[in-house]
Amino acid sequence: MISFQLDEEQELIRDSLEGFAREVLRPQARAIDEAGAIPDEILAQGWELGLVAATIPEEYGGSGGTRSPMTGAIMLEQLGGGCASLASAVMASSTFVNPLLDFGTDEQKRDYLPLFAGPEPHYASLALQESQFGFGADRLRTKAERRGNGWVLSGTKRLVPFGDRASHFLVLATGGEAIDAFIVPRDAKGLAIEPEAGTMGLKPLPTAKLSLDRVELPGGARLGGDNGIDAARLLNTLRVASAAIAVGISRTVTDFAIPYAKERVAFGEPIAKKQAIAFMLADMHIECDTMRLMVWKAASQLDQGADATRATVLAQDYVRRHAVKVADDGLQIFGGHGFIRDLPLEMWLRNTRTVTVLDGPAAV
């Protein structure tokens, strides 16, 4: 049955995060970006929202909420609209926790989930990206070899969020056919961690390069044990989440451009009264609405446990094309002011371009 009705909990989350994004995140986003670091107290504030622990079962110390990519998309749109860097920071540990919830063995859940249920931020993240420009999850170069009961991992992972402080990484690697995920502690022998030189967008999000030189892991390090993981689902979830952040940024850009266009006078009238500008704003609004629906469709399929690959590929494709255009048009409306770093337009363009490529190109 087709319905666009958020449930009560989702409405509550949307409204409370909308307030948090507007009052706490948005006013600081520019300064955080300029400083290139997220202050610990803001990270702590983000952690206090309990978003990571929300879906960890009570037996592991969490809040026991239902795991829902749909609710996640609603949250991330709001957070992304406030500050994409912080949204991504909050999401970072989820990229470790959620696959554990979805695919982890009981033992893996028991060993790792309680780490994230405490009041203090705890970091772990997914290591997906690799150095080559032709990267794709179907073309992983990080290799996993069986050795006895255990595994040996070799390869290089790039742009890994919170590489500087993560206790564990979920490293995607392949033994040939299937894609597997391995839990790698930061002190694993053969793992070298170096900070990255920096990134165009999500500047304050610390990222690292992981060099895995024959890292030996016990058999229990393979996520899901003998069953392995549904890599398509893992990646689809990640992509829908990134797309939701992009929609959030688009909405913020549009909302920011509207009052400016009404204020800025050229040739004797506000530029918003000129169709060239008014139609750009209308298109920005149209695409915000439309992108959101595409994200919702993919996210709701993930909630239903269906194969959401097609919907995710379509949503990712659609959001990539349109979110960047919205951010770019927003900047254009501000003219030279959009190019100056006093205003956040250039940041939103950088962040949109970044969140729409960070999750890897579409499909597995």
Partner 1 sequence: MIDFRISEADQHILDQVAAEGRAGEKYARHFEEHEHEPLPEAFPEAAEFEPLPRLLARRSKEDTPPATFQMLLSFARQSTNGVPLRNALRGGGGLGNAALRAAGTKEQIEKWGGLILAMSITEPGAGSDTKAIQSTARLDGEEWVLNGDKIFVTTGIRAQGVVVWATVDKSAGRAGIKSFLVMKGTQGFEIVRQEKKLGIRTSDTAAYAFRDCRVPRENLLGLDESVPREKGSASYRGVMKTFNMTRPGVASGGVAKALGAVGFARDALAEDGIKVDWQAGFHQRSATQQALIEMEADAEAASLTVLHAAWLADMGRPNNVESSVCKAKGGEVCRTVPQRAMELLGAMSVSHDHLVEKYLRDGRISDIYEGTGQIQRLIIARSILGYSSEELS
Select the span of 78-86, 92-100, 181-189, 287-295 touching partner 1 (CB under 8 A): 287-295
Q: Which residues pair with 147 in a beta bridge?
A: 150
Tell which residue, 193, 209, 201, 114, has the closest CA to residue 157: 209
CA distances to 116, 125, 222 from 97, rounded to whole Å, are 8, 8, 15
Euclidean distance between the first and the last CA atom of the chain, given in angstroms as a whole number: 29
Q: Which range in 2-10, 21-29, 30-38, 345-353 contacts partner 1 by CB under 8 A?
A: 2-10
Pick 14 or 186: Cβ nearer partner 1: 14
The tokens describing 159, both together, are: 């742009």
2 binds partner 1 (CB under 8 A): yes
Q: Is the Cβ–Cβ distance between 183 and 223 less than 8 Å?
A: yes
Contact track, partner 1, 42-81, x by CB under 8 A: ----------------------------x-----------
296 binds partner 1 (CB under 8 A): yes
128 near 157, Cβ under 8 Å? yes
270 contacts 263 by C-beta, under 8 angstroms: yes
CA–chain centroid gap for 100, Å, is 17
Binding to partner 1 by residue 232, rule CB under 8 A? yes
- In this complex, which beta carbon is closest to partner 1, that of residue 108 or of residue 309? 309
**Torsional sign, CA 279, 285, 289, 294:** positive
The binding track of 246-285 with respect to partner 1, each residue x by CB under 8 A or -, is --------x---x--xx---------xx-x--xx-xxx-x
**Interaction with partner 1 in 127-146: which residues (CB under 8 A)?**
134, 136-139
* Footprint on this chain of partner 1 (rule: CB under 8 A): 1-7, 10, 70, 134, 136-139, 232, 254, 258, 261-262, 272-273, 275, 278-279, 281-283, 285-286, 289-291, 293-294, 296-297, 299-301, 304, 309-310, 313-315, 317-318, 321, 361-364
